[in-house]
Amino acid sequence: MNDCLFCKIVRNEVESRKIYEDDKVIAIMDAYPDVDGHTLIIPKKHYTDFKELDDDILIHIKKVAVKLNERLMNKLNSTGFAFIVNYGDRQVIKHFHLHLLPDYKKNKASKNLDELYELLKEE
């Protein structure tokens, strides 16, 4: 998909704040976050929506979400989490992606995107 924003990010044609990458997925900080640490897990292969995912990629995304959940909770003092997948009209970019949204009932992080990126990027 030449015009897909997430495909362009995967191909490094568009800058992003990448905090995780392997051979199947990347995880980036959302450019317009709903909360501090709002992260997207994006398969490198273009899947329009969740109905196109095969079991292998879905299981892999789940494993990455568990790993990133731990990193986000520990580094941002998050007290909970939401995992969201939008579909249909709610899905702005038509490339499957999983939203990881930390919750802050206590000790809200309140940092800017660059500060959060420095905390969360892979070492």
| Three-point CA angle 58, 9, 82, nearest 5° | 45
Give the C-alpha separation, 81 to 88, whole Å. Answer: 23
Which CA distances in Å does 66 have to 17, 37, 114?
Answer: 19, 15, 23
CB neighbours of residue 20 within 10 Å: 17
The question of whether 95 is a catalytic residue gets the answer no
- List active site positions: 97
